[in-house]
Amino acid sequence: HVQGICDVLAATMKRDHGLDVDPLTDFAICCGQSEAFAAAIFAVIDPGDEVLLFDPAYETYQTCIELARGVPVYVPLDPPSWTLHADKFLKSFTRRTKAVILNSPHNPTGKVFSRAELLIISQACQQMDCFAITDEVYEYITYDENKHISLASLPGMQERTIITSSLSKTYSVTGGLLSCIAVQSYSFLC
């Protein structure tokens, strides 16, 4: 039973990210983050839509995009720190771009996107009128001075961000115990 969990998730979103969400309408509980991510892709992507994702990327993303008959477009991150190169990213957009996938902290590199990088992504999403679908399963697992910032917390992004997350990594309960999708006007998927 998941009764009450959406109230807890709404309070957590407010506390950790400053986001006001409705626990009755803004969450979908799924059996694992991969299911939540697939649901987000299937809800937003139509055949032929392009989806930008940062390379290297978690392998499930491409499969979900292709199952929705979308077109994955890889944007390379610059090693060794896996930084976002703004020009490469911005030149990847076309009139067919429907969404940007953001995984931060990033799997497989561990990179935590900086506020400056997130601002580049958020401004591009708003300018190009596309969604952001985030994978935030590692949000509480960061090191040194790095701190996770949810893209949805930036100005103008709550309305166009779908957050996918999970309890599995933070609480060591892998295997599909609980993941969620927060959906506020297409805003979240946890």
* Band (123; pLDDT cuts 50, 70, 90): very high
Taking 50 as the threshold, does the pLDDT of residue 65 lie above it? yes
3-state SS track over 97-146: EEEEEEECCCCCCCCCCCHHHHHHHHHHHHHHCCEEEEECCCCCCCCCCC
> What mean pLDDT do residues 130-143 have?
91
Q: What is the pLDDT of residues 159-178, one digit of tens each?
A: 999 999 876 676 666 654 44
Which residues 6+ apart lie within 8 Å of 179 measured at CB?
29, 30, 31, 32, 33, 35, 36, 164, 165, 166, 167, 168, 190
> What mean pLDDT do residues 83-90 have?
97
Q: What is the pLDDT of residues 102-115, one digit of tens each?
A: 999 999 999 999 99
Greater confidence, 6 or 88?
88
Amino acid 186: pLDDT:
39
Structure letter (DSSP) for residue 31 = S
Lowest mean pLDDT among 21-25, 128-132, 169-173, 178-182: 178-182
Taking 70 as the threshold, does the pLDDT of residue 50 lie above it? yes
Predicted TM-score of the model (pTM): 0.87
Taking 60 as the threshold, does the pLDDT of residue 121 lie above it? yes
Taking 90 as the threshold, does the pLDDT of residue 143 lie above it? no
**Which among 108, 167, 104 is positioned nearest to 132, based on CA atoms?**
104
Q: Which domains, from first to last, does the chain contain?
A: 2-184 (3.40.640.10)
pLDDT over 70, % of the chain: 87
Taking 50 as the threshold, does the pLDDT of residue 122 lie above it? yes
